[in-house]
Structure 1
Amino acid sequence: MPEAARWDAVRLDGAGFVLRRWRADDLDALLRHADDPAVVRGLSHRFPTPYTRADGEAFLAGRVVDLHDPVFAIEIDGAACGGIGARPGVGERARSAELGYWLGQAHWGHGLMTRAVALYTNWVFDALGLHRLQATVLAFNTGSARVLDKNGFLEEGCMRRAVIKDGRLHDLRLFARTRALD
């Protein structure tokens, strides 16, 4: 089975949301939620602002992130309103992955991202045979840090002055969760 097809049938049902593969017909919903400076503020350079139709088409075509990886839409009431995914390591880091996620501002403050990260994290550890899942958070993004903390991720350190965003230097906080040893 081609690597991307591994994830095509995956549907994870959560409390008030579904995690599933991105589809071409998600473009309008993606643009509606992604073209928001408040959303983009806490994300990496791969998430531009303004977020144009061309940006959305490039993302859905797999030219921004590798859609061979388990990269899912967060769907609420039939529409994509955010995303979550893991980028697996290679070689000696093949049992580790980097977690990333975002959510449209209309859905902030209801615990949805905390629930989505919980569901996805439990699934992806088994799906990829991971021993470690890590995430980096811009130091000012306390909401994202809380999501990770509530899901058992431990803060391992700070990468000082690691990112230039909007012309300013920012620290990155590193969080990780590891599989319990049997």
Structure 2
Amino acid sequence: MDLRLNGHGLVLRRWREDDLPTMVELFDDPDIAYRTPLASPFDLAAARAYLDKAHRLYVEGQRIQLAITEEGDDRPLGEVLFNRAGRTIGYGIGAAHRRRRLAVRAVQVLTDYAHRRLGLPHVYLEIEPDNDPSKGVARAAGYRPTGRSPQPVTDKGRVYTLETWVHDAPAAP
């Protein structure tokens, strides 16, 4: 049950056991801790729990979590994920690898997969109103705000809102 998606110079692949130390390097980051539900600090124990949960949710058909790598280099640079229930995509890029359009390209590849392979007419991103870098990713990947009221979320004791952005499947030729 291996899943590999290629496109825009990237290879998106499932996380593996040998990725655990790299996951710590990527996700033990204050920006990622602030914007995501990932454990903080994100140590090897947190990486192990995250990997185990990612595999379980994949097998159950609930979520796809993929390491972002570049063609010709299998080293993970971040993650892109798809939650089937909400049809939402999320992503996180390691601090050392930002500003290389990795998030934009990974979102484009996974969005295309959701439309073409999963047959979904709409795919969504959920973004905090003050998260300008993620809004830039959304726009560059072809998403637009839905205009729905932001939804409140509580995570790790922090209360915030999320705006919903949508990408519509291309019209059939």
Shorter-chain TM-score bucket reads 0.7 to 0.9
User: 1:19 aligns to what?
Assistant: 12
User: 1:156 aligns to what?
Assistant: 146
Q: Equivalent residues in 2 for 1:49-60 (5 A)? A: 49-60=40-51
User: 1:92 aligns to what?
Assistant: none
- 1:50, CA displacement in angstroms? 0.8
- 1:164, CA displacement in angstroms? 3.4
| Local SS of the residue matching 1:140 | coil
**What runs of 5+ residues in structure 2 fail to find an aligned partner?**
none
C-alpha distance after superposition, 1:104-125 (max 9, x if no partner): 0111112121111112211221
- 1:24, CA displacement in angstroms? 1.1
Q: Equivalent residues in 2 for 1:1-182 (5 A)? A: 5=1, 8-15=2-9, 17-43=10-36, 45=37, 47-62=38-53, 66-68=57-59, 69-76=63-70, 77-89=73-85, 97-157=87-147, 159-160=149-150, 162-164=152-154, 167-182=157-172
User: 1:93 aligns to what?
Assistant: none
Stretches of 4+ aligned residues off by more than 4 angstroms: 158-161, 165-168
- 1:11, CA displacement in angstroms? 3.8
Counterpart AA for 2:42: Y
TM-score by length of 1: 0.80
- 1:49, CA displacement in angstroms? 1.1
Name the CA distance, whole Å, in 1 between partners of 2:12 and 2:108: 12
Q: Rate the CA distance shift 1:158–1:168 in 2: closer, same or farther, 3 A.
A: farther
TM-score by length of 2: 0.84
Name the CA distance, whole Å, in 2 between partners of 1:165 and 1:71: 20
Name the CA distance, whole Å, in 2 between partners of 1:74 and 1:50: 22
Name the CA distance, whole Å, in 1 between partners of 2:29 and 2:51: 18
| Local SS of the residue matching 1:172 | strand
Percentage of pairs with the same residue: 26
**What runs of 5+ residues in structure 1 fail to find an aligned partner?**
90-95
Counterpart AA for 1:84: V
CA RMSD of aligned residues (A): 2.3
Aligned length: 167
- 1:146, CA displacement in angstroms? 1.0
Asked if the contact 1:158–1:172 (Cα under 8 Å) also holds between the matched residues in 2, the reply is no
